[in-house]
Amino acid sequence: MTECLFCRIAAREAPADIVYEDDDLVAFRDIHPKYQVHFLLIPKVHVASVADVKKEHEPLLGKILRVSGELARQYGLSESGFRVLMNTGPDAGQVIAHLHLHVLGGERLRAI
């Protein structure tokens, strides 16, 4: 079994409240939500962070952004607004070394 928690979630070897899944991506609710709606969208393939993205990952990153917008519409966030966020590295707040996109909304977000 891999040490990466998000790889284990993608393989259904670790529990998560999954809200979306396809052949390439998994989205699940954050276990410590910062806002009313807070879920993570991850690729099933392990990429540690944005700093590790290669040319062959470009279609996958485009898909992550497209699906984040689709899920935001599903959750009723697109009209009032939502935030899409990727942290890269420990100083930026990345806790799990697996590329992941946060989708945040459902209430007024604090400015960053």
**Active-site residue list:** 100
CB 25 within 8 A of CB 42: yes
CA distances from 46 to 49, 60, 61, 100, 104 (A): 9, 12, 13, 10, 23
In this structure, what token pair is assigned to residue 67?
């699906």
User: Which strands make up the sheet holding 25-29, listed edge to edge?
Assistant: 18-21, 25-29, 37-43, 101-105, 82-85
